[in-house]
Structures are given as C-alpha cells and as structure tokens.
Chain A
Amino acid sequence: MSAHPYRGLPDQAFWRRSVAEPSRGEVDPVVSAPFVLTPDMRIATAGSCFAQHIARHLRASGFNFLVTETAHPIAGAELAEAYGYGLYTARYGNLYTSRQLVQLFDRAYGHFVPETEYWHDKDGQVIDPFRPQIQPGGFQTIEELRADRRHHFACVREAFETLDVFVFTLGLTECWTARGDGAAYPLCPGVAGGTFDPAQHVFVNLRAGDVAADLEAFAQRLRGVNPKARILVTVSPVPLIATVTGQHVLVATTYSKSVLRVAAAEAEAAVPEITYFPSYEIITGNFNRGAYFAEDCRSVTEEGVSHVMRVFMRHFTTGGAGDVAPPRAEPVVDAHTASIKKIVAVVCDEEALDRGA
C-alpha cells in the first residue's frame, strides 16, 4: 500500500474509531489544550445560559470561580441567586451575543454610554435594558438603578483586570439593537420591560464576520487591561427559543449556531489568546442520539453537561478535585447580622426581665 496523509493518523482523525465505536460518555473531541487551569487561577464566566453550567461545575470541582459582584451578606443564598448574584462572575445576566460582550466592556469603562438608560415595566418599575431580568420586580427608582450600575461596572472592571481565564459562551446571532447608537439588548424591547418601537429598535442577525470581529475586538480590549488573560470560547448547544427571521426556527437555529461556530474558529485562528472548546459538539453530536437534550429537545441534560465538564477537566485542568456533582449554592451566613440579632434578643429579654423584677 502506498503512503498517504491519512495513514498513521491518530484515532481522533477517524470517525469510526473516535465517534462511532466509543461508548457515548467516552467520546472526547479535544485534541490538545494550549493551557491548563490550576486551582489558584481566577476563572471568569459570561455568556448565554449554558455558561452557568460551566460556572457551577468549576466551583464544585474546587477551582477558583471568580465572582467580583457578590450579594450583600444580608441576603441568603436563595435570595442572592434570585437576584442573579453568583451565576456569573458579575451580575450582568445572560450575554447572548458577542455584541453585548464588547459593549459591556465599553460601558464598564465609560467608552460607550447608550442613549437609552432605562426602561419601565408594566408596573412602572425601572428596568435595566441591558440586564432586564436581573432584578425581580425591577428597580424602585432611576437613582437606585444608577447606583447599582455604578457598582456593577466597578465589579466588571475588577473581573476583567484580575481574571486569568475568561470563559465565554456564544449563544445567539439574532438580537435587537437601538437604531440610533447600536446598543445591543439581551431581549427584545417589550418582552421584559420597555416598549417595542420599530422606529427605535432594529433587528440584527449577526453574520460570522461580525461575531469574529466582536471577539477579536473584545480580546484586544481585554489585553489592554489584562495582558496575561486567556479566553476560552464555547458555543451554546441550546437551540433558539424563537426567531423573527421568517425562517423555520430549526433552520434559523442551524444558521445561528453555524455562524457562531465559524466565528469561534475564525477568532481562534486570528487571536493567540483565544481557544475554542467543543462543548457544542459534545452535546449536539449524533453519537449521543439526542440523549443530551431533554424532552423539549432544547434543554441540556445534566448527563450532557457532565460529559462536557468531564472532557473539560481532563484537558484543561490539573490539581482540582475532579468533576463532581454540582452542589447547591453554599448557604451565605452573615455572622455580623446574626450576632446583632442575638444582642437584640438579649436586650429585649432584659427589658422584660427588668419589668418583671
């Protein structure tokens, strides 16, 4: 037999050996990792909701999941989670698009001030257009929103400037933007606050070049404040919940995910500090015969997430505790408030005892 480029290639190059034959949980599409995470490295996360799974597992595995915007200790764990604390590194909510990511950076550093500062919901509460679901019930006043946003931006800057690795999950290409200044919203105005106005709001379906350019622009900005930072890009396997393109949502999903996947590859090729991690392939690959999607064919099962994180841990980490079942958030104990509560109880008892004496 004559020699040719395929002869002698490792198993990973062949579908039968690396996809069809291994058991479902053993398929591993990562060839090599350009860097490894150690428990002391600060890992920040952002992106679509799939990124929350990554954060949970990193924390559960003993890695240093960086959270710069924590809930005040007076809030317990349940309240903190309801208010979007700890789901990502800062309380920015879901960043579905690359455009949101770039603009988050620019807004945090004061380089971009969107014309629309706030929305109102149907009850008149104040809504942050860029985090419309971060605050159950909305903000009470515009000043409260402004104060919270100042704090939020400080936490975002701290995250960008101190992280070692930034894990970003690309979720969507379809987005709604302000016609005037291009501000990208995570949700269409009118869905969770604000009022949809065709004169002010315009639909954008990002193309591969747009997303790649956004990623490269973000990497350049991040490098400016944190030269050692690495960026790990993933593509969310979660299909679109809806499309306004006029296409069937299945077709629109294929287009969006294809764009994101191409853009991730383009950015990885162009920017040394960007690395692509194939969580998308693990979840959507036909080797698992749809087992990693729930009944709605959209939600990712815990088995699928575990497979992703197992592969991630195998190639990108060293020194952690290994992947374990993600626990519920640690209860937040506010020792100060608890101690004051005890004193109040003592003072009240003494007041009553004094009377009874």
Chain B
Amino acid sequence: MMRGLLDRLPWRGQVAPDLGAVGAQPVAPSLLVLGHSHMIALQGARDLMRDAGGVAMPPMSFVQLLDADISPNVHFDGTAMVLVPALQARLEQEIATHRATCVFDCISGNEYHFLGLVNHPRRFDFVLPSAPALPLAEGAEIVPYALVRASLKASMEYALTVLACLRQATTLPVWHIQSPPPVSSNDEIAAHPTQFGDAIAAHGVAPPAFRLKLWRLQSEIVREACAAAGIHFLEVPAAAMDPLGFVHPDAWHRDPTHANYWYGRLVLEQMFALARDGDVKVEAS
C-alpha cells in the first residue's frame, strides 16, 4: 500500500474547495467516471476524502470497464463499432440514477508500457519530434518515429475505439483523463516490479527518457483522437509531475504502471473545479 498516505493528504485540515451544495444550484454537478485500472486511484482518493470529511464533493459514480459483464467494452453491431449493450445500458442507468452532468473517462492508458517499460531484446529508441532534445539511448537502434508511432497506435486500437464509442453513446460532455506519466526512477521500478520481475531481471528497465517519450507519444495520439471525436482532454495536473515531466515521486504506487491515491486526489481536484466552473486547463496548449 501507499507510504503514509493519510499523513500526506494535503487537504487534511484545509478548507475544502467550495463546490456548492448539491442541489443548491439549478444544475448541480454530478460526475460519472468510467475507466479501466487507472480509475482506481480516483476511486481510492474519493473514498479517502469522503472518510476524512471536511471536503465537499459533488456526487460521483464509477463504472469499472474491466468488469466481466461489460468487457470487452465494444462490439461491431453490423453497422459500426458501438458500446456493448450491457455497457450502454449501464451508462444510461448511471446517468439517470445519478443525474450525471458530465462524463470523465480513464480508458486504458498503459499501452506505452508494451513497448517501453522493459528493454526490448533488440534495443531501440526514437526521436520524438515534439521533444527532439530528449536523449537517445546509447547503442540503441534508432527506429523511425513514424514507425514507432504507428506501432504504438496499433496497440491502442481497442482503447481508441472505446473512447470514440463512448463519445457516441452520450450527449453529455466527455473529458478524457490523461494517463499518469512514467516513474522517473529505474531503481524504484526494479524495487517494486510486481509481475514484471522476470522480464526486468532478463532485460532491465528501459531508460527513463525512452519511457517518457513513449508516454508523451501515447498522449499525443490520444489527444488527437479526442479532438477528432469531440472529447475534452484533461492533462495531468502540474503538481503531479516532477520538473522533467515524470510522475511526481509522491505519486509512486509501488507498481510501475499506476499512480496512487495522492495522485488521484490531484486529478479529482481538477475534475471538481472543471465540473463546477470549467476553469481548469483541459486542452493542450
């Protein structure tokens, strides 16, 4: 579990953000969150905030997209890819029951680890056009950026399809929550490898800059997909990142691929503010 998480909850003893009493405004914000494993950090943070008290939160409901009865999340209905009927029904039910005013999603977000958490036996690296100064791994084969991008995007096909289908499934505004950045420390990953232990022992953790490039590339692909589909893109909170753009050490989860509840809390604060008055940055500059 997380290291002294309750002691590091920065909102304890502080004045909670004024979200307005539920029902006090003509349309009180009510958040529906759908997602895969990254949603756990948000749920955990919400529970801790609720249990700690003193924090006014808008109503929130969560739909875990990994649940067996709605997974896989999409299918071909003979005309187009759509949410599976069970998920479509669940979505409509949640919206109606909780009078949801907006939808957030944490769909997938770990595909970049396929290519870059562990060193590939045929070591490779690439130049990221949006950050050409990021270093190249010494001795690595330089694979064309376009080819890496196409390979990564192919790995994301399912997630991008779910994202597009979600947009088609509701008229409510939809925000996609950017997945957490990678952990900067290879030692931290090696110390808490979870299921990656054998692979890390065999090949080693990939260089941090390489992992950061892949995450940024993944985010660029998702950002483009969101723009094309009419989905807002909610960036990682600045406070949740270190100066180089890796996930902040306080967000480490002893799991190379997920962030903790502290991180989730920062994201929730963004979501609350956004649901309240839309004054957070939601698009890439």
- A-side residues, CB < 8 A to B, are 71-76, 79, 83, 135-137, 139-141, 143-144, 147-148, 151, 336-337, 339-341, 343-344, 346-352, 354-356
Contact = CB atoms under 8 A, between A and B. Distances in A.
Contact of B199 (A73, A135, A340): A340
Contacts of B37: 347-349, 351-352
B199 A137 contact: no
A90 to B, nearest CB: 14
A347 B40 contact: no
Given A79-B150, A344-B113, A147 B199 contact: no
B114 A341 contact: yes
B110 A76 contact: no
Nearest to B114: A341
Contacts of A75: 143, 147, 150-151
B145 A347 contact: no
Contacts of A76: 151, 154
A348 B114 contact: no
Interface string B80-120: 00000000000000000000000000000011011101101
B127 A144 contact: yes
Contacts of B114: 337, 340-341, 344
A354 B195 CA distance: 14
Given A140-B129, A141-B127, A147-B136, 14 more contacts: A74-B124, A74-B147, A75-B150, A136-B146, A139-B144, A139-B145, A143-B127, A144-B127, A144-B142, A336-B121, A340-B114, A351-B258, A354-B40, A355-B43
B168 interface: no
SS class of chain B's interface: helix, strand, loop or mixed?
mixed
Nearest to B41: A351
A348 B129 contact: no
Given A74-B143, A341-B155, A346-B195, A352 B66 contact: yes
Given A72-B141, A348-B37, A351-B37, A135 B195 contact: no
Given A147-B127, A151-B141, A355-B44, A79 B147 contact: yes
Interface of B: 36-37, 40, 43-44, 64, 66, 110-111, 113-115, 117-118, 120-122, 124, 126-127, 129, 132, 136, 141-148, 150-151, 154-155, 194-196, 199, 203, 255-258
Closest 8 CB pairs of A and B: A147-B142, A348-B37, A351-B37, A140-B129, A144-B127, A74-B151, A355-B40, A140-B145
Q: Taking each of A137, A147, A148, A347, which has the highest tally of chain B beta carbons within 10 Å of its own beta carbon?
A: A347
Contacts of A337: 114-115, 120
Given A74-B124, A79-B147, A349-B37, A141 B129 contact: yes
Main SS class of interface, A: helix
Contacts, number: 116
A75 B36 CA distance: 26
A223 to B, nearest CB: 30
Most chain A CB atoms below 10 A, which of B111, B151, B155: B151
Contact of A340 (B113, B143, B258): B113
Contact of B194 (A136, A339, A347): A347
B122 A140 contact: no
Given A340-B113, A354-B40, A347 B255 contact: yes
B110 A143 contact: no
Contacts of B122: 72-73
17 contacts: A71-B147, A79-B147, A137-B146, A140-B129, A143-B132, A144-B126, A144-B144, A340-B196, A341-B114, A343-B196, A347-B194, A347-B196, A347-B256, A348-B37, A348-B66, A355-B43, A355-B44
Contacts of B126: 144
Contacts of A79: 147, 150-151, 154
A344 B129 contact: no
Nearest to A74: B151
A124 to B, nearest CB: 11
Contacts of B146: 83, 135-137, 140
Contact of A348 (B44, B141, B148, B257): B257
A350 B255 CA distance: 11
A347 B195 contact: yes
A141 to B, nearest CB: 5
Contacts of B143: 72, 74-75
A134 to B, nearest CB: 9
Contacts of B144: 83, 135, 139, 144, 148
Contacts of B118: 340
Contacts of B145: 139-140, 144
B10 to A, nearest CB: 22
A130 to B, nearest CB: 16
Contacts of B110: 344, 347-348
Given A144-B127, A340-B117, A344-B113, A349 B255 contact: no
A84 to B, nearest CB: 10
Contact of A343 (B115, B155, B199): B199
Contacts of A355: 40, 43-44, 64
Given A341-B155, A355-B44, A348 B199 contact: no
A112 B206 CA distance: 37
Nearest to A353: B66
A336 to B, nearest CB: 5
Nearest to A137: B146
B120 to A, nearest CB: 6
Nearest to A70: B122
Contacts of A354: 40
In this complex, which of B120, B146, B255 has the most chain A Cβ atoms within 10 angstroms of its Cβ? B146
Nearest to A355: B40
B147 A72 contact: yes
B142 A148 contact: yes
